[in-house]
Structure 1
Amino acid sequence: MKEYAKEMKIQDLDTAQLERAASMLKAIAHPMRIAILSHLEEGTRLTVTEIHKLLNIEQSTTSHHLGILKDKGVLVSQREGKNTYYSLKHESLQNIVNCVSKCTVNL
C-alpha cells in the first residue's frame, strides 16, 4: 500500500524528516538505481527478473539495488505467489526521475 503525504515545503520539515529525505536521495544517486526507478514510473510494478532483463544486469546485482531502495523508503514490495513486485513507495518520486532526465539532456 502506497503512502501519500500532503505537499510540504523544505522549510516545513524537521531535522529527522530532512535526514530521511537525504537518505532517500543518497539511495537514488546511483546510475543503476536511477535506471530502475525509470522503469517503475506511473504505477508500474516489476519483479526482480523483469528488471534484470530490462537493464541487462545480473539478478543478484538487481536484488542488491532493489534492497537498498526498499530499505531507504524509495520502493515497496508486494509478494504474490512466487513473485515479489516492486513499485515506487511514493508516486511523487517519479518527479525526481523526470527532473534528472530533463536536467541531463543538455549537459
Structure 2
Amino acid sequence: MLDFTINQPNLNIVAEQLKVIAHPVRLQILQILMERGPQNVTSLYEGLGLPQSTLSQHLAKMKSARIVLGNRKGLEIYYEVLDSRIKQIVSLINEQV
C-alpha cells in the first residue's frame, strides 16, 4: 500500500509563503533584493516610487513569513532574501517574464 502522508506543518508554511509572494510589488522587491543584495527601505522606496508606508507593509509581511530578513546597521535596516526556496521560485518566475 502506498503511503501518501505528508508533512502538513511544512506544507502550511510553504503555502503561506507562496500567498505572501503572490503580489506583483512583493515579487519586484524580491527581484531587486536578489539582484542588488541587501537594501534599506530608503533605496527601495526611491527605486520603486511607492509610498514608504506601503513599502514597509510589504516588507513586514515578507519578514513575518520568514521570506526576508532585516539586519540593522546604525539607524537603517537592510533587507535581504532569507529563504533559498523563495530565491529559486522568484528566479523561475523571472525567466518567464
Q: TM-score, normalised by structure 2?
A: 0.88
How far did 1:101 drift? 1.6
The residue aligned with 1:26 is 19
In the alignment of these two chains, the number of paired residues is: 94
Q: CA RMSD in A?
A: 1.9
The counterpart of 2:79, out of the listed 78, 83, 86, is 86
Query: 5+ unaligned residues in a row in structure 1: which ranges?
Result: 1-10
Detail structure 1 runs of 4+ shifted over 4 Å in the superposition.
Answer: none
Distance 2:35 2:6 in 1: 26
Measured in 2, the distance between the counterparts of 1:80 and 1:12 equals: 44
Structure number with higher helix proportion: 2
Per-residue deviation, 1:42: 5.4
Match of 2:7 in 1: 14
TM-score by length of 1: 0.80
Which consecutive residues of structure 2, in runs of 5 or more, have no partner in the other structure?
Answer: none
Deviations 1:70-99 (A, max 9, x none): 001100111111000100112342211111
Q: 2:47 maps to which residue? A: 54
Q: Quick check: which has more Rg, 1 or 2?
A: 2
Contact 1:37 1:97 in 2 (8 A): yes
Identity %: 32
Report SS of the residue matched to 2:34: coil
**Aligned partner of residue 79 in structure 1, secondary structure:** strand
